[in-house]
A and B are shown apart, each in its own frame.
Chain A
Amino acid sequence: MMKTVDLIEEIYWGLSANKVRSFLTILGIVIGIASVIALQAIGAGAKGTIEASIQSVGSNLLFVTPGAQRGVGVSINAGRGSSQTLTNEDAAAIASSINGVKAVVSEKSARYQVKAGGLNTNTSIIGTTSAYPGVRNIQIDTGTFISDQQQQSSQRVAVLGPTAMADLFGSSTTNIIGKTVTIKNMPFIVIGTTVAKGGSGFSNSDDAIYVPLSTAQKFLAGDDFLGTIDVQAEDASQMTNIKNDITSLLLARHKITGTKTADFSVMSQTDILATASSITDTLTSLLAAIAGISLLVGGIGIMNMMLTTVTERTKEIGLRQAIGAEKADISRQFLLEAVTLTFIGGAVGTFIGYLASLIISKFINVAGTITLSSVMLAIGVSAGIGIVFGYYPARRAAKLNPIEALRFE
């Protein structure tokens, strides 16, 4: 049998004899692998970003929201704000009768048009109480947050998130305390601003204006119901117990039997993370499947090229057999030609996929994440494609009868 060094040399000559065709075949694999790598990186990056932004909200948190619970994964937002079942009394009952609760904060949020001077914006107005910054990890930049006294007397005061502030006051960020903003045509006095927290899209605490809960209920929404009750546990290990206790308590208060018909839902940070992860995972596998199809097409391209090559080089195969090539020599040569093409395609494709993920992440503001395992997998898969799609043509070459191969025109 032929030595490996010689085999590699023969493969080099074989492939370089038809450079254009080899290049085009490699290109097919490059596109397949590059799209797998890029989409996988974007998917992993998106997942990381979403998880980080959910976690930035604060740990040890449970969210009680109105609306039916339809199981994890489909309905985090189903009915949120639309059905009105949670009351101030519910929140008070949770605070007073459930063990292990550190803080309870009620929220009443909606989007309104807000004006200040000549500028206006449409932002989220969160009606809440003094415990909110502690529960949600929000730092006060200037001024103060809403006080209990302001909450009790339903004062029209507002605390601005940095994005909302920039939208309303532009670059003039000094002396904002004491200025007036108009929400739903009612004047509110600015009493404070918060520190930028980052995070985008999902629960952006920067693009928001905080007002006292009772103010939001009385002047903005016009009803006494709550949007969300945030419950902070003393300890993460108690989350499940607290969740169950809240559910029983509210079921009893709402006179509902059986959790299936509950008119509220209690979700922990972990539930939301699991939901978000399952969404991004599904998305990532969908993208990977699409990329996988292009890889399959590339593989068929390899097989097509190798079959053409074997037919074209029938006479050469006959000659090699006549001068003493054994079956294994012939099949190894053609199999390795295919694997070489796909391996090069895999390596180049990984590199291009990496570049593509960098470029895409610039546009969609998601950091692409490339792991060593995904690179190894891509190169492994591409070499595997070479073996799978190169096997049949190689076997066909090795099975040629030398006499007929030599006569082939």
Chain B
Amino acid sequence: MTGRKLIMTFPVTATSHLLADYKARGGYGTLERALREMRPEQITKEVTASGILGHGGAAFPTGRKWGVIKPNDGQPHYLCANADEGEPGTFKDRWILENAPHLLLESMLISAYALQVRHSFVYIRGEFDLPYRRLAAAVEEAYAAGLFGERILGTDFACDIVIYRGAGSYVCGEASALITSIEGKKGYPRNRPPRLTVRGLYQRPTVINNVETLSNIAGIVAHGAEAFRTVGTAKSPGTQLVSISGHVQRPGVYEVEYGYPLAKFIYEDCGGPLGGGKIKCVIPGGISTKVLTAAEIETVTYDHAALAAAGSQVGSGGMVVIAEGTCMVRLLQVLLRFYHHESCGQCTPCREGMGWMHRIIDRIVAGEGRMEDIDQLIRISKANDGTTICGMGDAAGYATVGIIAKYRDEFEYFIEHKRSRLNGRLEVVQ
């Protein structure tokens, strides 16, 4: 077991995602209570007090994001669930969309009430098929049950929801690119200021939260911030859905309470590395977070402060286990190919830098590397750090610097001998 659970609290069956089953579990009761008994500000206060951090990757305090919105300032506000789950290694939101779509919808309705939102959106990744069909069916069920539209549950509250399918761009998972995409434009991120909570979708204050973050709202409102804070650690309250993949016995989505020992999670709960091998390193939260070596994960617990102290992040909870024998040069090549392919091309450092790094690593793998290429990769990474419009340039740099810092000898060997010191595979043959 991976600690207490807040989201994966029910057994998944053939009907557990449907409205009837959700209602049988007590679903939409919190919404009813919130609409009838709570004022919008009270909900925001409760969310702020819960200390919940964003689960999309940046771990921004949700309460602070919501606090910028003034519910009665006379202009429309928008709420958008970010279901454009595209960080490689991450597939946790997919679990919610497939198995608990009504949890997301109830939470969004409560959030919409708190923020006085009339129109809410779900921006869902275009490649998601089953999650989209499940969510769309759930929205239809909810509309039929009077949970969306005018006079929800007989109150004055009205809210509509639109599911918007993305077209497959990684950058559209970035909040400002996401709203630009909803507006029908090319998915380019926007410069800050202004923050999206000041001027976002259609130039109005907009709150964009990750699916998992939003799905926690119903629980926070139902049981109160105090109860939520008892789960997890003081600085990282709650749980994280971790999607674990790679060279691991039992990959999948696990709900992990913050503060749970990372080594225990990987070795016991997930069965340890494939084929009885050894773990070389772990990417803890999506490929944009820095790798942790097998020695480093021994002592670390799974929460924001501990991972930051170890030099990495919780990120998006997309954990990738990498077994001994994997070539880190080839691994970096795969990562940089991804970043090159997904750079939107709007701002200079990322547009030019991603392709440049990709060409360099391709050349190294082709046996035409030069020793100065390693420092060149670090130089390009640093030139992308904090200089781009969105965080993608930084992220590629973190991944690159993280891998080179810990496995520089493998790169030097590859360049010198024109081949990998290992067998050069990414897959471990059992």
A binds B: no
